[in-house]
Amino acid sequence: MSSDGEAPHKIVGAYESDEQYLSPVAWSPDSRRVAYVRKTIHLWDRDTSTIEIFDLASGRTDRLISNPALGQLLAWPQENSLIYTRSEDVPNEKDSNLWRTQPDSRDSGVRITSGRGFIGQISATKDGKILAVKRVEYQADIYIAELGEGGKKLLSPNRLTNEKWDDEVHSWTPDSKAILLISDRDGRQHIFRQGIDQVQPELLIGGDRDYSLPRLTPDGGEILYLQMPGRDEASHDMRVMRTPLEGEDRNNCCTARQSGTCSAHAFLPHCAFTVRGHLTR
């Protein structure tokens, strides 16, 4: 559009055949080109992201870098310097950092920051010499609390998991003395058990797979859970697995393509729940 906000027109759009999102644009210092990230959503595969540059005069689009780990933030502080965000590799994929490349190169460039947390905002000074970066670090933790007034009131929540990992509660053991939880503390989403009076959880189901939604069978003797597809496998099916609460035998029950979730579980007189962020009472 013009400087007075009139005559708007589309210069770049999403492809109709795909579910796509375009990031906010970063203008080149000479205001002749714009850079953006095109993200394509794949239902049963990892999403793809590509940095593209559109030339306003010629209408040409150049594709620079394609990587599923690309973020949605860009800055173009100097003519030969394009800044973008990228997630780290496993097991630090929840962290992101800044990378710098040349706008006319398809090389991924070099990483210029190293830190924990997700980069949620970047801003460059007018002369392009200084960048401001906002980092956000999310963490899911588990709290234990007693239930009062017949389960109608939450009393004195206490934090059960105290490490830097994401922990989510999914079920109680039959004696109501321990919980089953999912944690990424060893680089994968694995299933652990932790007593409400214990400091550390014990690994129940580990290995080179990710797991989710552990549930006890009605008799309390076995755990049903989801085995997620391997990150490098062609199949995207999830498997419903079964294993004894005390033991290592694993059996495949069925194969599925859908799952649900639940985040709070109560067995009087206690309640366990997952908090992502901060607990407010």
In this predicted structure, what is the pLDDT of residue 250?
64
In this predicted structure, what is the pLDDT of residue 254?
61
Q: What is the pLDDT of residues 34-50, one digit of tens each?
A: 999 999 887 656 688 99
Q: Are residues 206 and 269 in the same domain?
A: yes
Residues 6+ apart with CB under 8 A from 87: 69, 70, 71, 93, 94, 95, 96
* Residue at 6 is within a domain: no
Largest CA distance in the chain: 71
Q: Are residues 43 and 130 in the same domain?
A: yes
Q: Are residues 245 and 148 in the same domain?
A: yes
Domain boundary among 87, 104, 136: 136
- The token pair at 230 is 């391997």
Q: Are residues 212 and 102 in the same domain?
A: no
Q: Are residues 130 and 147 in the same domain?
A: no
Domain boundary among 90, 120, 136: 136
* Residue at 96 is within a domain: yes
Q: Are residues 266 and 183 in the same domain?
A: yes
Look-up of token digits 């496993």? 90
Q: Which of 16, 51, 252, 272 is nearest to 146 (CA)?
A: 272
Q: Are residues 40 and 153 in the same domain?
A: no
Q: Are residues 115 and 37 in the same domain?
A: yes
* Residue at 215 is within a domain: yes
pTM reported for the whole predicted model? 0.66
* Residue at 69 is within a domain: yes
* Other CB atoms within 10 Å distance of the CB of residue 154: 16
Q: What is the pLDDT of residues 175-223, one digit of tens each?
A: 989 999 999 888 888 999 999 999 999 999 988 888 988 988 888 888 8
Q: Are residues 74 and 158 in the same domain?
A: no
In this predicted structure, what is the pLDDT of residue 268?
39
Q: How far is CA 143 from CA 29, 115, 261, 266, in A?
A: 50, 27, 18, 12
CATH number at residue 206: 2.120.10.30
* Residue at 8 is within a domain: no
Residues 6+ apart with CB under 8 A from 48: 39, 40, 42, 66, 68
Q: Are residues 107 and 208 in the same domain?
A: no
* Residue at 281 is within a domain: no
Cβ–Cβ < 8 Å for 67, 85: no
In this predicted structure, what is the pLDDT of residue 45?
64
Q: How many domains does the chain have?
A: 2
Q: Are residues 83 and 129 in the same domain?
A: yes
Range of the domain at 83: 19-136
Domain boundary among 136, 153, 171: 136
In the predicted model, residues of the chain with pLDDT beneath 50 are 258-281
* Residue at 191 is within a domain: yes
In this predicted structure, what is the pLDDT of residue 44?
58
* Residue at 37 is within a domain: yes
In this predicted structure, what is the pLDDT of residue 7?
80
Q: Are residues 58 and 160 in the same domain?
A: no
Q: Residue 63 half-sphere exposure, CB side, CA atoms within 13 Å?
A: 6
Which DSSP string do the residues of 212-258 spell out, in sequence order? Answer: EEEEE-TTSSEEEEEEPPPTT-S---EEEEEEESSS---EEEEEES-
In this predicted structure, what is the pLDDT of residue 262?
36
